[in-house]
Amino acid sequence: MRHATLVALLMLVSVPALAAKREGTCEVRVTGGVQLTFTGKGGTQAAASDHWMSREERRQMFEKLYARAEKDPARRKLGVEQQMGPDGLMSGPLTVHCITAAGPMAASFSIFAGPKNSLESVPFKPGTYPLVSLEEKPGELGVSLRLKGINYKLSAPGVLVLTRFDGGGVVGTFQFTARTNIAENRAKAVMRNVHVTGSFDLPCLMKSRVCSK
């Protein structure tokens, strides 16, 4: 089972602890070759972190998923153990998505930890991190940006500043420069350079001991 599909299914299983709890917001401001500002809503799919669940709670989530997807008890148990591995990570130390109401093709921005990061390299506290496009090293976070159907990649490392990262949620600001990613776009895509700034304030809506405090 692909990891991205697995995480998406798990997020659907993990409903908010309180339906009335605020969802949070995010905003992305783009200047330069593209002039655009968009906002996105919060919710369980806007921010995720394995810091928000204990290892045992993550195991329980995997068990729920495999109980639905696999009938054979032995294969179900094997699947859970393989997913847990030495670290037992699901979505990694931090993932943030900001998607306009018009959908991800119109405008979307994501921050992700990548496979080389751990709970130790992106700890559960405020901090400052370099933003990169590819091949994240421990302590670096990746960026994905799509504007008006065009993919962009960073032209130089950016900066993410987390002013809050705890059981209540994650709050931060970011800035970076990017250019059209010719390799990932349709033929004859116009080369554009953009400057991006933004912010997010996203509560933890997971049903977990950490986020229920």
| Residue spans per domain, the chain | 3-203
- Reported as a single tens digit per residue, the pLDDT across 42-88 is 887 899 898 998 877 777 776 777 666 667 777 766 666 666 566 65
The model carries a pTM of 0.79
* Per-residue pLDDT at 5 exceeds 50: no
pLDDT at 86: 60
Q: What angle do CA 112, 117, 122 make, to 5 degrees?
A: 80
Beta-sheet strands, E only, within the chain: 25-32, 36-41, 47-48, 95-99, 107-112, 127-132, 141-147, 150-154, 158-166, 169-180, 193-203
Distance between CA 88 and CA 43 in Å, rounded? 23
CB-CB neighbours of 166 under 10 Å: 17
- 83-100: pLDDT as tens digits: 656 665 667 899 999 999
What percentage of the chain has pLDDT greater than the value 70?
78
Per-residue pLDDT tens digits for 17-36: 334 467 899 999 999 999 99
Mean predicted lDDT score pLDDT of the chain: 83
Angle between helices 55-69 and 73-84 (to 10 degrees): 140
Helical (H) or strand (E) element with 5: helix 3-13
